[in-house]
Amino acid sequence: MCGIAGILYKNSAAADSGVGKALIDMLDACQHRGPDSTGFSLYRDPVPGHLRLRFIVGDGEVAAKAIERVKTKLTEFQAKIVEEEQRGSSFAVLVKFDGDLQKFAFEMEHAAKLSSIGESLDIIKDLGGAFDVDNVYKIENFKGTHGIGHVRLATESDVAPEATHPFWATGFSDISIVHNGQITNYYKMRRRLEKRGYFFNTDNDSELIAVYLADKLKHGFSLKDALKTSIEDLDGTFSFLVSTKDEIGYAKDKLAAKPMVKYEDDKIIAIASEEVSLNRLFPGRALNTSEPAPGTYDTWQRSISA
Amino acid sequence: MATIDLSVTTVREANELLRKYGADGIDVEVLNPDARHHIGVGLTHPINVHIKGSAGYFCGGLTDGPRFHVDNNVGWGVGDNMLNGSIVVDGNASAIPGVAIRGAEVVVKGNIGSRAGQVMKAGTLLACGNASFMAGYMMYGGRLVILGNSGEKVGQDMTGGDIYVAGKIGEMGTDAMLIDLPQKERDEILAFLDKYKIPFTGTFQKIVNAGKKLRYPKTEPRRRAIPFFESFADNSYWNAKVQEDIHVKSQIGRYRIRGYGASRPMPHLSDIAFKKDIRIGAMTDPDVISKIEMKTEVGGRSGANPLKLSMPVMIAPMSYGALSKSAKLALAIASRLSGISENTGEGGMSKEQREEAHQLIYQCLAGRLGWNIHDMQKANGLEIYISQGAKPGLGGQLMAKKVTPEIARIRGIPAGIDLRSPSRHPDVLGADDLVIKVEEFREATGYRVPVSVKLGAGRVRDDIKIAWKDGFDFVELDGMQGSTGAAGNEVLEFVGIPTLSAIQEARDALTEVGGLDMPVILMGGIKDGIDTIKALALGAHAVAMGTSAIIAGGCIACLQCHAGTCVTGIATQDPEHEKRYNVPVEARNIHHFLESVRWQIAAITHAMGYSNPHQVTRDDLVALTPEAAAITRLPYHPEYRERDQGLLKAS
């Protein structure tokens, strides 16, 4: 039960247009849809041969112990810490690592709650509104080409940083999703994916979408084709956004029960639950927006030449 | 022409200004709308409002008379429930445009989103572009004109009204069919298009209801009614009720409908007893009522004017439709005499009921039957019905016999159908949508009226947290011992959650999120003042009584509420039956009963040594059965049963 937002600047020249500020504004505009917590998927500059990991560790003594466990585990995997930062309820590291990512990710889960792993992906999420999270994590000045975000109103699961979106596709680098709705065949699909050896970090149905898509990508599907099959395979009501290192995409269920509006021009594609979020990017302007039709999907790619 | 700039004025202030300009007959221009929600909500004057940009959700919703022009797009629910007036949208409209309109003209120059015109009653919704999924879903009347393509499942479960499609027709919805277009109707549509200067020369295909689902194919045979207590008194497996059910089902081939609630024995407040010593002697004090403070306020937590109850009791929501106008009137009078609140239930507010009840809660259901801005503004409380304890997750049922022309007119539906009210709100598909809906109600009534939610006990723990997060002023929580005018027998017996579990889960959930400031009104089998005090001690702020009030007013509990031939004149719309109901006498009887409840509350509170029933706590209670102990986590003390029975006799 939530609001979602995503933005992609199509040309690398626009990369300093400010993804962080745009996402904060869009999420603040739809904060009424989800006052409990807010999260952002940001894509930072990749460092070749390195991975970014962010853990949710809490604070005080609990955090100190979790960080210790993380460091021990990293040593086991000979992942050398290049940079580290503890901020808010999270602990982020940049490590040199070139082993089996999936095994690494599942093992790191045992050290602390993983928020994201990626060459670029950094998922920042915490309790409170968009501005609250920005105050702690300083997202406003983040530049980049694309990102997605989410405001959450917890309905069944807890109000906690780890239950906040975006969800990382546990075990896969750089894939994240934000979702508004409910997947009703969650357990059926989860068991199917678990049989294939995937590990689930939470009981949240949105994580399933991320892992589902990542599995498809692993098997050679394009993001667009993976979105296409998701509409057939997932039951329920959903409007979701997915992002990878180079792309963002959306899918909308056939029942058209959850809102989604998109705006596109030469420079950007922006998608949000409500037009009021899009209008925040262009105050005072009447935007030429459209609503994706039920059962549709699409993707957009950033210019790779950057 | 006045100007309102939304870059410097909040929507709430803007709507107050719009109402003021409306009263003075001044047209308004709205600048920098930037797709904000609720612009123009609650306006009841015929002024022109020009919105220079996009508007968000419920633009022009809950209005009567104004003419809106929106230069760009609109969000969900444009023109929600609009009576008269018009909205012209130059861009696209998102989902459920023209939802529940009752006469308005909503014109969208671009495309329209899914479920267009859901539960609309009268008026015209026009899309110059394409429609989306389930256009005309569950519409009851009026016309939906689509110049582009229809989208999939057009006319799904429509009951009445007409859909005209100029473009391609996608898959037809269930119970919709194509018929020939009369020339006269084409001319009328062209005249409508001309009025809004929309050039069009083509023709239309017409879609109407196919009539396959409006009535149950076979009505239940009439039989001698077996009263509630007789039906279920015999605990043997093949009791009279079971046998009767089988006989009837063998003739009609489907589930049975009946009135009243669950009959199975279930853990209830009668399985809870007072642990604290009760001085029986104190109960005979003739002045006991004057010694106990029991005034209860409900609904002020967000600044609205609270309901002021003379005791922690309300009348539970029951509809005019399920009940006769006379029975509703008697309840209204009794509520006034006893200083408590009455509730309209689903079927709208009658003038007489409004005049008699001093405190009246007005209920909004998914079908928006009888719902309108004028009665909202007359109400003392607004209530969004999500579900009912006797049949959680399902809509109401009103059999054809009770859907008289008068009832049909008030509700805005065709007469003579077996009305199965929708169970889902068109514009509330999740907690996120519900937030925006609640805000719309507040905007429409200037934030003066409390907004509550009625929840049938299902997943209470999750639901109650959502209710708190969505900012409701209070919750009416209804357990499965509550009754209904009509529901499938299987549903009544096997779907709900007992009232006792409901209050315990609600209390636990609110404690968990720190939401104990939101009052819970418990209902579902509350019989008397003793139940009331137990409910209060378990965490309720007040109770609501339905069945017991009806019985006080003459109900004989024959389970035939659905049939429409109620011999007491309570659950009927047949004037011959209704004339048996003596309103002044029954109003007095209900009032007397309510006063006995007041006396019980006072006597027991006093006998326990308290001065206010809200002082009684869980520590004063014990459970008499292992089940009740497990549900409530109260200590299990069966030995208190004897004393409890003594108390019943004394009171």
Mapping DSSP onto H, E and C, the string for B176-219 reads: EEEECCCHHHHHHHHHHHHHCCCCCCCCCEEEEECCCCCCCCCC
- Asked which of A95, A119, A143 is the last residue of a domain, the reply is A119
CB contact under 8 A, B95 and A181: no
Nearest CB partner across the interface for A276, out of B37, B132, B466: B37
Contacts of A78 (CB under 8 A, 6+ apart): A97, A99
- Asked which of A119, A151, A176 is the last residue of a domain, the reply is A119
Long-range contacts of B177-186 (CB under 8 A, 24+ apart): B177/B207, B177/B208, B177/B209, B177/B210, B178/B205, B178/B206, B178/B207, B179/B206, B179/B207, B179/B208, B180/B206, B181/B205, B181/B206
Residue B225 · residue B560 · CB < 8 Å:
yes
Task: Specify the DSSP class assigned to residue B437.
Answer: H
Check residue B262 and give its pLDDT: 85
| Residue with tokens 């999939």, as numbered in its chain | B152
Specify the CATH number for the domain of residue A41. Answer: 3.60.20.10
User: A296 and chain B: CB distance < 8 Å anywhere?
Assistant: no
Contacts of B554 (CB under 8 A, 6+ apart): B568, B569, B570, B581, B586, B589
Distance of residue B11 Cα from the nearest chain A Cα, in angstroms: 13
pLDDT higher than threshold 90 for residue A15: no
Residue A113 and residue A136 in one domain? no
Give the residue numbers spanning the domain of A82.
Answer: 46-119
Mean local confidence (pLDDT), A177-189:
94
Amino acid occupying residue A219: H
Question: What sections of chain A are H helices per DSSP?
Answer: 19-29, 60-76, 101-109, 130-137, 186-195, 205-218, 223-233, 275-281
Distance of residue B56 Cα from the nearest chain A Cα, in angstroms: 7
Task: Specify the DSSP class assigned to residue A159.
Answer: -
Task: Specify the DSSP class assigned to residue B426.
Answer: T
Burial of B623 (0-12, 13-18, 19+ CB in 10 A): buried
Residue A144 and residue A257 in one domain? yes
Position A294 in a domain: yes
Residue A53 and residue A176 in one domain? no
Burial of B642 (0-12, 13-18, 19+ CB in 10 A): exposed
β-bridge partners, B478: B456, B523
Check residue A93 and give its pLDDT: 97
pLDDT higher than threshold 80 for residue A13: no
At residue B513, the 3 state secondary structure works out as: helix
Closest CA to B120 of B90, B95, B140, B134: B140
- Asked which of A119, A149, A184 is the last residue of a domain, the reply is A119
Position A124 in a domain: no
Residue A271 and residue A182 in one domain? yes
Angle at the Cα of B284 from the Cα atoms of B280 and B288, rounded to 5 degrees: 110
- B94 neighbourhood in chain A, CB within 8 Å: 259, 261, 275, 291
CB contact under 8 A, B35 and A283: no
Position A277 in a domain: yes
User: A257 and chain B: CB distance < 8 Å anywhere?
Assistant: yes
Which of A2, A70, A121, A281 is labelled catalytic?
A: A2
Residue A246 and residue A203 in one domain? yes
* ipTM of predicted assembly, 2 dp: 0.93
Average pLDDT of adjacent 10-residue blocks, chain B of 651 residues: 97 98 98 98 98 98 98 98 98 98 98 97 98 97 98 96 98 96 97 97 96 85 73 72 87 90 89 86 84 97 97 97 96 98 94 96 96 98 96 88 93 91 91 94 98 96 94 97 92 93 97 95 97 98 98 93 93 95 98 97 94 97 97 96 73 62
Check residue B471 and give its pLDDT: 93
- Residue B25: how many other CB atoms lie within 10 Å: 9
Closest CA to B398 of B415, B378, B381, B385: B415
Nearest CB partner across the interface for A279, out of B34, B111, B439: B34
Residue A108 and residue A246 in one domain? no
- Residue B222: how many other CB atoms lie within 10 Å: 9
Residue A82 and residue A197 in one domain? no
Nearest CB partner across the interface for B462, out of A155, A237, A293: A155
Per-residue pLDDT tens over the stretch A129-145: 999 999 999 999 898 89
Check residue A306 and give its pLDDT: 43
Position A146 in a domain: yes
Q: In this predicted model, which residue has the larger pLDDT, A22 or A170?
A: A22
Domains with residue ranges and CATH for chain B: 2-209 (2.160.20.60), 295-552 (3.20.20.70), 621-651 (no CATH)
Residue A278 and residue A137 in one domain? yes
CB contact under 8 A, A153 and B466: yes
Residue B3 · residue B31 · CB < 8 Å:
yes
CB contact under 8 A, B152 and A294: yes
User: A158 and chain B: CB distance < 8 Å anywhere?
Assistant: no
Give me the number of domains chain A comprises.
2
N residues, chain B: 651
CB contact under 8 A, B431 and A153: yes
Residue A98 and residue A136 in one domain? no
Residue A27 and residue A95 in one domain? no
Residue A285 and residue A194 in one domain? yes
CB contact under 8 A, A286 and B71: yes
Position A125 in a domain: no
Contacts of B294 (CB under 8 A, 6+ apart): B310, B311, B312, B598, B601, B602, B605, B612, B613, B614
Is A2 catalytic? The answer is yes
Distance of residue A9 Cα from the nearest chain B Cα, in angstroms: 22
Check residue B148 and give its pLDDT: 98
Closest CA to B395 of B358, B374, B365: B365
Position A168 in a domain: yes
Q: How many CB pairs under 8 A join A and B?
A: 114
Phi, psi of B384, rounded to the nearest 5 degrees: -90, 120
Residue A166 and residue A100 in one domain? no
Residue B169 · residue B189 · CB < 8 Å:
no
For the record, the structure tokens of A166 come out as 């975006």
- Return d(Cα A78, Cα A96) in angstroms, integer: 8
CB contact under 8 A, B113 and A283: no
Specify the CATH number for the domain of residue A110. Answer: 3.30.70.1290
- Return d(Cα A213, Cα A171) in angstroms, integer: 12
DSSP element (H, E) containing B239: none
Contacts of B162 (CB under 8 A, 6+ apart): B142, B143, B144, B185, B206, B207, B208
